[in-house]
Amino acid sequence: MPLPSTSTQVTFPAGAVEGRSTVLAAEPLGDGRYAVVTAETPFHPLDHSWPDQPADTGSLGGVAVRDCVTGAVGPGPGPEGGALLLGADIPVRRGEEGWAWLVVHVTDEPVAVGAEVELRVDADRRAALSAAHTGCHLLALALNEALAPRWRKDPGRADALGHPDFDSLAMDTSRMDTDASTDTYRIGKSLRKKGFTSDDLAADLPALTEAVNARLASWVAADAPVRVEAPGPELTARRRWACDLPEGGASIFCGGTHLHHLGELAALSTELRLSEDGTELIAVTTPKRR
Ligand SMILES: [Zn+2]
């Protein structure tokens, strides 16, 4: 069977956790596991370029899906096209033209190619990851607002609410798990050159944390609606997280999954800390689901 030459259609952006589709490929990975690709899937894979939200787990045709990764098939020679490359082995950026972008379900058992199967995502794990991911984007906006007075000049990049976009200018890594999101920001020379002042940041941290948490609480109380806007159904479509906050509509480019409205949370709060040398600001943002 040739590998798929078109990208997987995904239903997770709208929040789906179940589906039915045809198995297009099931390749042994050489370590006793199999890479199973379907035409359509509700499973969210780990992104190979920006691995912020962990993979969904669940089952496919009654077989356990242990992991879910991004796969890509390049425009290689021969009737079978290129080989299936996974995760870090993919040599091009997400969405590169000419490549098929695939959701790869990793199983311990083979699945028959051509079979129509039920796909079921572990819904509770998904809900926890979605809450953490929505919390991560709200933290970005609340932190940008709280840090706005620290910009001596306009850095030339504003977020959807009009504040200098500290989150994207200083972002080093962003990781979600089922409990929280952890965002690490680099506060170095290049950020200062853009106009950010880190003077007395350590002393200011309690007040900043309080301001951020007050803003997060007000947004949760407003029960703002959340959606993922997708220009197409394929895995690599350029999707946006959008949230109708009382201050205005906010949106951020995002490949993950999210809540449908903020009232699904009972609370959302963050803890800010600085590294010893003051060059990293770490935000751990914890949603409490109802
Ligand atoms: Zn995101």
pLDDT tens track for 72-118: 998 876 544 588 999 988 888 888 888 999 999 999 999 999 999 99
Phi, psi of 145 (to 5 degrees): -65, -45
Task: Calculate how far, in angstroms, residue 241's C-alpha sits from the geometric centre of ligand 1.
Answer: 7
Tokens of 195: 């106009």
Task: Calculate how far, in angstroms, residue 254's C-alpha sits from the geometric centre of ligand 1.
Answer: 4
Tokens of 266: 């009972």
User: pTM value?
Assistant: 0.95
* Domains in the chain with CATH codes: 9-121 (2.40.30.130), 125-289 (3.30.980.10)
Task: Calculate how far, in angstroms, residue 132's C-alpha sits from the geometric centre of ligand 1.
Answer: 10
Chain-centre distance of CA 63, in angstroms? 26
Q: How many angstroms separate the CA atoms of 40 and 24, rounded?
A: 10
Task: Calculate how far, in angstroms, residue 244's C-alpha sits from the geometric centre of ligand 1.
Answer: 16
What is the structure's pLDDT at 287? 98
Task: Calculate how far, in angstroms, residue 29's C-alpha sits from the geometric centre of ligand 1.
Answer: 29
What is the structure's pLDDT at 133? 98
- Contact indicator for 23, 114 with CB cutoff of 8 Å: yes
Task: Calculate how far, in angstroms, residue 133's C-alpha sits from the geometric centre of ligand 1.
Answer: 6
Task: Calculate how far, in angstroms, residue 42's C-alpha sits from the geometric centre of ligand 1.
Answer: 17
Phi, psi of 175 (to 5 degrees): -135, 135
pLDDT in tens, 182-199: 999 999 999 999 999 999
- Contact indicator for 174, 136 with CB cutoff of 8 Å: yes
What is the structure's pLDDT at 80? 45
**Coil, strand or helix at 217:** helix
Task: Calculate how far, in angstroms, residue 98's C-alpha sits from the geometric centre of ligand 1.
Answer: 25
What is the structure's pLDDT at 77? 66
Task: Calculate how far, in angstroms, residue 28's C-alpha sits from the geometric centre of ligand 1.
Answer: 31
Task: Calculate how far, in angstroms, residue 62's C-alpha sits from the geometric centre of ligand 1.
Answer: 30
Task: Calculate how far, in angstroms, residue 240's C-alpha sits from the geometric centre of ligand 1.
Answer: 8
Question: What amino acid occupies position 16?
Answer: A
Low-confidence ranges of the chain (pLDDT < 70): 1, 77-81
What is the structure's pLDDT at 75? 85
Task: Calculate how far, in angstroms, residue 178's C-alpha sits from the geometric centre of ligand 1.
Answer: 15
Tell me 257's DSSP state. Answer: -
What is the structure's pLDDT at 78? 53
**Coil, strand or helix at 172:** strand
**Coil, strand or helix at 264:** helix
